[in-house]
Structure 1
């Protein structure tokens, strides 16, 4: 009870500051009732400083806030890598579509002219197969992983073992189907 009274006296001496900060009466009552005899609570008044002119890094350095390590402390997992790859393949498909649209609108020639120009480069079979594979892999991966997401939306394959099995299945089928498309 003595600690609660001391704590109440500390709070009551700082009442105007607490109300200026819009903390309100509820914090008061919670603090009074949750303080025990073996905990000492001290309030420290900190004068506000103007951090408006500082950059984000300078402000955090001044306030002694450490940089969060985020990506550097986590081991890469299949689930996170497939999620990142799904987004990257979506961006690649968007880029492919934009190039096709621009190619259809701007140049004066039709597609047969460009196919003849590519054949005129006399690329060897391995180079052509690599280019086809490079174009087919984002399509197959994004499509198959999208189907996987549709299964998830229906509540299927949601436990961890099934998530990993479907992830490996999507990766394998994507590579195989991209190889088949590249061989055509």
Structure 2
């Protein structure tokens, strides 16, 4: 215990007095501590470098990447509900936020371009569509919304530390899929 304290104190003194030498000696911690206690100095080997052009460094990087093994994760693993729903949750979140920003921006600039995006114009245009087109459009909008909502509740439960066992994750995943299908269909069929 005493030798460890002496080694720590000598390393601290060295770091305070000579920061460059201390950083070199940290790599050789086990061999450096006895040398510092005894008072002998450490040998350091200088590193030699060569200046290269950025284009040459990029070519070296490309050559190194060609030798890297690629992970066959998509080819060898069995598709599982947790990671399928995780990917789908990210996609639906991106679709919903992208649609929100695009429509919001279009709504703000509509008066400048003479577009009619007010509620009355949109309701009249949507009301003129055939019933099948209305149902399909509402279903296309309701699926990402309901899925992302139900899966978000599932993630909030996980954040509280509950329902995180493998069997429960799989059951809640299928429950989210079922609730998404039923609620999306119900929302699409509301006329």
Same fold (TM over 0.5): yes
User: How does the TM-score come out when normalised to structure 2?
Assistant: 0.64
| Structure 1 length-normalised TM | 0.67
The residue number in structure 1 matching 2:164 is 158
- What does residue 101 of structure 1 align with? 104
Task: For residue 54 of structure 1, give the secondary structure of its aligned residue in structure 2.
Answer: helix
Instruction: Find the partner of 2:134 among 128, 132, 151.
Output: 128
Summarize deviations over 1:126-167 as a string: whole Å, max 9, x none: 221111011011111111111111111122111111111100
Deviation beyond 3 Å, 4+ runs, structure 1: 26-29, 47-51
| CA offset digits 1:32-87 (Å, max 9, x no partner) | xxxxxxxxxxxxxxx989661317443223xx332333333322210000000000
Counterpart in 2 of 1:80? 83
Aligned partners of 2:71, 2:97: CA distance in 1, in Å?
Answer: 32
The CA deviation string for residues 76-131 of structure 1, in whole angstroms up to 9 with x for no partner, is 210000000000110111022113312321213322112223334xx322221111
Map 1:24-173 to 2 at 5 A. 24-26=27-29, 52-54=57-59, 56-61=61-66, 64-108=67-111, 109=116, 110-120=118-128, 123-173=129-179
Question: Unpaired segments of 5 or more residues in structure 1?
Answer: 1-21, 30-46
Find the counterpart in structure 2 of residue 4 from structure 1.
none
Count of residues paired in the alignment: 143
| RMSD (Å), alpha carbons | 2.6
1:33 maps to: none
User: Who is 2:14 aligned against?
Assistant: none
Q: Could you say if the C-alpha distance between residues 119 and 103 of structure 1 is closer, same or farther in structure 2, counting changes exceeding 3 Å?
A: farther
Change in Cα spacing, 1:70 to 1:57, as seen in structure 2 (3 Å) is farther
Question: Contact conserved, 2:138 with 2:187, CA < 8 A, in 1?
Answer: yes
**2-side partners of 1:168 and 1:124: how far apart?**
33
Higher RCO, 1 or 2 (CA under 8 Å, sep at least 6)?
A: 1
Distance in 2, matches of 1:77 and 1:27, equals: 47
